[in-house]
Amino acid sequence: GTGSNILSALQDLFWLLKSKVEKQLQIISVLQWVLTFLIMGIACTLILMYILCTDCWAIAALYLAWLVFDWNTPKKGGRRSQWVRNWAIWRYFRDYFPIRLVKTHNLLTTRNYIFGYHPHGIMGLGAFCNFSTEATGVSQKFPGIRPYLATLAGNFRMPILRDYLMSGGICPVNRDSIDYILSKNGSGNAIIIVVGGAAESLNCTPGKNSVTLKNRKGFVKLALRHGADLVPVYSFGENEVYKQVIFEEGSWGRWVQKKFQKHIGFAPCIFHGRGLFSSTTWGLLPYSKPITTVVGEPITIPKIDNPSQKDVDFYHSIYVDSLIKLFDKYKSKFGLLETEVLEVN
């Protein structure tokens, strides 16, 4: 009777409130990561400089002394924290979009791997969530494999930010760091390199599936030098979460972007997502579009100490073909038309 109706209404209210709270937690989790990506390094540097000018200068001085002592740690595999990788906030981050990790083949723990991640998108949201956290279960899906997401080396010169990044298993995308992980850190290591980099981010836009890969062969040479298997990875939906102003080749805007890319390592993009309080307004929050990251079949790579250009070109062509096949096999399963073609630039 009446009591049953009241109980039913209270249950409906409870689930409604719970749903709203979870949505807000998802928004907060994504917002903190976006702000980390955009301003944490600069903000921490300025705060440290300010503290040096106050009565608490000793705290900043102690941290700077530690920074000097610990300077080379990012190049030696970093300092990952399973506790940080398992934070509940990353599960809310995952569910905001949502983000999924799809395994297609087993990986042997007796081998090392270089994952080529495509496309870059604006911020590489799928790469971060899948490989720098445990939110999508990477350690359960690939037991015995230690993922290292490689990013700009300049990030590891920023105080506090460097430690935060290392806690997630993120490393500098430079030769010293990659050589150490693949040669002095045992087996079962997987370095995730966003191959297209800043150049690829300049062309990402919703509805476009293109990768910058034709002349990106350094990762193949590294794989050959260490005998590390190559694994193509495609993230469907990575380009859908932000809208960007695309400058035409030859325009002043593209000229500025390329200058930044050449001298600093990243290209400033003019982009927007949704607002904090409304999905119909502009803001820094990405749109909540599904991102599905598919890890393809590993390509067995021989160990060649000094690979020739012919060797590099041969295995690069195999990699490109494997990536295209991966895209074609799964595109219709994750929202694309069968007629969609992956553009390789």
pLDDT, residue 5, reads: 62
Give the count of alpha carbons within 13 A of 96, CB side only. Answer: 28
Taking CA atoms, 48 is separated from 52, 113, 146, 156, in Å, by: 6, 38, 33, 15
Q: Could you give the CA distance from residue 26 to residue 36 in angstroms, rounded to a whole number?
A: 16
The residue ranges of the chain whose pLDDT is under 70 are: 1-17, 264-266
pLDDT of residue 209: 93
Residues with Cβ < 8 Å from 19, sequence gap 6 or more? none
Statement: the pTM of the whole predicted model exceeds 0.95: no
SS3 319: helix
Do 120 and 201 form a contact (C-beta atoms < 8 A)? yes
Domain ranges of the chain: 2-344
pLDDT digits (tens, 9 = 90+) for 207-244: 989 999 999 999 999 999 999 999 999 999 999 999 98
- Long-range (24+ apart) CB contacts under 8 A made by 80-86 are 80/146, 80/166, 80/167, 80/168, 80/169, 81/167, 81/168, 82/134, 84/167, 84/168, 85/132, 85/133, 85/134, 85/167, 85/168, 85/169, 86/133, 86/134
Place of tokens 């079962």: 188
pLDDT of amino acid 262: 73
What does the pLDDT read at residue 246?
Answer: 80
CA distances from 159 to 11, 75, 148 (A): 48, 16, 20
pLDDT at 169: 96
Q: What is the pLDDT of residues 303-345, one digit of tens each?
A: 999 999 999 999 999 999 999 999 999 999 998 999 999 999 9
Q: What is the pLDDT of residue 330?
A: 97
d(CA 328, CA 112): 26
Give the pair of three-digit tokens for residue 86.
């398992």
Reduced DSSP (H G I as helix, E B as strand, rest coil) percent helix, strand, coil of the chain, to 5:
50, 15, 35
Q: Rounded CA gap, 215 and 294, in Å?
A: 23
In our burial notation (b when 16+ CB lie closer than 10 A, e otherwise), range 281-305 reads eeebbbbbbebbbbbbebbebeebe
Contact 88, 280 (CB under 8 A): no
